[in-house]
Each structure stands twice: as C-alpha cells, then as structure tokens.
Structure 1
Amino acid sequence: MATIEAPASNRGYGKAKNNRMSTRVDMTPMVDLGFLLITFFMLATTMSKPTVMSVFFPDKTKEKTIEETQPIPASLTLTLFLGSHDEIYYLDGIAPDATNASPSLKTVRPGYELRNVIFNAQKRVAALPRKQNGEDRSLVVVIKPTAVSTYRNMVDVMDEMAITKSKRYALVDKLTGAEAKLLGDRILKSK
C-alpha cells in the first residue's frame, strides 16, 4: 500500500526481464487490528467491574432500645434455610417451636422461584392489619445457612434480597433445636 512498483526498463530487447515483487510487507492493517483489540479489551474489563453489596450491621457498642430487644412476631417473618445443591427450605410466617411441632417446610431454588416466595411474603405482610402505635410492619427475612450450604447459595440469596428490595433481613448462623430437628433429615440426605 505504501510502496509504488516501478516498471521494468526495456533495454535488453531480446531478453524478457522478470518483474521483481517487493518483499516488504505492509504492517498498517496489523497495527490497526492490534489497536482495535487493545481498545476492545480495555473497554471490556472496565465494563465488568465486580460489584459489592453493602450490608449494615447493628452497632454493638450502642445500648439497645426496648423496640430492638422485643421479639418479632412470626407472622412478619420468612425464614430461609440454605441447604446443599442450591436447595433453599423456607417457613413462611411460622416458627418451629413447641406449640407448632411440625410446620410445613417447603423447598425452592434460587432465582425466580425464591423471588416469588419473597414477593408473596411481602404481600402477605402488607395485608396484615397495622397496630395503632405505628409499629413497623415490614417483612423480616431470616437467612440461616446450614453446614452443608455453600458460599454461592449465600450470595444468591443476598442478590434476591437486593432484587426484591427487602430492607430488613438477618443473617443467623445457628439453628435452634426445633429447626435442627425439622431440617435433620434433609441435611443428612444432602451430605
């Protein structure tokens, strides 16, 4: 592209001269392609920055108020138990205790199914009658990872909390005796 081929001179009338082609390789298209690839990869890496979700924990040094120490009614809660193989067990609006010996434990997968469970629980809590004293009546999601759950399960549930705009949720790392009894068979099967 950048070189001009000079025609061969006709001095030797009886002999035909060979036209010699230039051995020079034009690198302009290769340089253009290199810059295009560098630009593409720089743009691709800046677009895919890892994102971080902010989680706020209560201040342990501050004295707790009476509202913070009162138990949350079970009707306002959705309890999620994280199992293995992307299984999430949940209790909607009930707590496993001595009065409710065998609540129905249901299973969902992370993603669309879990999102629907959270949205339905939010609708159920919004339909509850409000108290006169202006008590906060929003859904509280209690997330309890088990020994067989993975970090990915926890991240999936936290993503669903952000997608459904659930403002109140708690990460609890210990199961109560009734919860361990309720989950016992499922956790043993998962190992």
Structure 2
Amino acid sequence: MADIDSSGGGSSPKKGKKKRGKKLSTRVDMTPMVDLGFLLITFFMLTTSMSKPQAMEINVPDNTKIPENQETKIKASQAMTILLTGKDQIVYYFGVGEEVQEPQITDYSAGGIRKILLDEARKRNPSFDSIAVYENQFKSGKISEELYKANRLRIQGYKNGLIILIKADDKARYKNFVDILDEMLITNNGRYAIVDIAPSDLKMIETNPYLKK
C-alpha cells in the first residue's frame, strides 16, 4: 500500500521549555489511484481502434508457362507502355510489336503522366468519367460502397479500354515505382501490369538523345 507521511516530525522538546501540541500523522492512501490508472489503461486499450495497414494490389508477371494459343492478346490500339528511367523521367509509347508509335518523354507531375493517362483513358472508354460521378454519390451517401465498387470495376474492365504495361530499368528509383502506382490509382486505371523490361526498350532508352543522362 502506498502512503504519504505528512507528519511534522522533529525532536522532543528540551527540558524546561513549554511543550507544544503534538501533531498527528496524516496518511494518504494512493492505492485507489493506482487501480484507477490501470482501469483507464485497460479502457483505452479496449476502446481504441488499431490502425490497419493499407495494402496496394499489384499485378506482377507470372512465371507459369502458358501455351501460345492461350495467351491473352493485347490490341495495339489499347496498349500503352510506360518505361521508368533515371532522373525521374518517363518514356512512354503506344502500340505493341511492330505497331509501335514514336516514344515520348514526360515526368510525374499532374500535367505530365497523369494528364496523359486521363486523356488516353477517356479516348478509349466513353464511360470513364462516370467513375468520378459514382465516387461523389458514394461520398455523399447516395449509394452504398458495394455499388460504387461494382460500377467502378465494371467501367475499368471495359473491353476496349486502355491497357498499361509498366517497365523499369536499373536506373529508376523505388520512389518512381511507387509514384507510378499512385498515378494508376488517382487516374482510376485498373488494367495495368508490371512486366520485365525488354532489350528493345533498353535500347530505346539508351539511344534517346532527349533523356537526361
């Protein structure tokens, strides 16, 4: 039991001097305060909601061998390749195989890759802007979260929509990889995949005179 002794103390009065009144010892029992402290700690532990880590869904290459006749073919008109390079630069081009357009260079700013992604998604998907409409309805409580997610996935899965291939060379930083995934989320592009960079892409980067070396 924890006590506080607040007695006056002092030595006994000397002989021949007037005796003073004896002070009584005051004891304060601190045990209830300790119990209260543990009760408060227990209360906050049980009522506080723990923060949940947010995981980002990433589509990565699958090493499983798939027969050529079962491979998913991407139309050249749908494909967009994003190459992450050094100096916080992005090289991008449209098309696949021999139907590749002239590569362009941009950055991670709102007027850079974000604007390009939004423009291209709208061009290929007429209902792309409806995602923002459903999102506002969900935030205002007009529709449920389940209905919002269902409509968003339906629009993102449009068969003729934009398909993005993300590749990175050894000069790109981890921050660049995180930034481009954030742009996929911001621009509501759900059809993207992270694939290995091809030798032809590396040559395209090395021979581009407009890139910062």
TM-score (norm 2): 0.54
3-state DSSP of counterpart to 1:53 = coil
Aligned length: 168
Determine if the alignment matches structure 1 residue 17 to structure 2 residue 22: yes
Contact 1:139 1:168 in 2 (8 A): yes
Determine if the alignment matches structure 1 residue 68 to structure 2 residue 72: yes
Gaps of 5+ in 1: 4-12, 128-134
Structure 1 59/35 Cα, relative in aligned 2: closer, same or farther at 3 Å? same
Q: Return the alpha-carbon distance in structure 2 between the equivalents of residues 112 and 180 of structure 1.
A: 26
Structure 1 95/66 Cα, relative in aligned 2: closer, same or farther at 3 Å? closer
Percent identity, please.
17
Contact 1:110 1:156 in 2 (8 A): no
Determine if the alignment matches structure 1 residue 164 to structure 2 residue 187: yes
Q: Return the alpha-carbon distance in structure 2 between the equivalents of residues 49 and 99 of structure 1.
A: 40
- Structure 2 match to 1:78: 80
Q: Return the alpha-carbon distance in structure 1 between the equivalents of residues 99 and 62 of structure 2.
A: 30
Paired amino acid for 2:85? G
CA deviations over 1:145-184 (Å, ceiling 9, x no partner):
111123343233234334433232232322343x334422
Gaps of 5+ in 2: 4-17, 127-157
- Structure 1 match to 2:106: 107
- Structure 2 match to 1:131: none
Contact 1:148 1:187 in 2 (8 A): no
Q: Which residue, 166, 174, 178 being the options, matches 2:197?
A: 174
- Structure 1 match to 2:92: 91
Q: Return the alpha-carbon distance in structure 1 between the equivalents of residues 171 and 43 of structure 2.
A: 44
Which segment is superposed worse, 135-144 or 162-171? 162-171
Contact 1:78 1:141 in 2 (8 A): yes
CA root-mean-square deviation: 4.7
TM-score (norm 1): 0.58
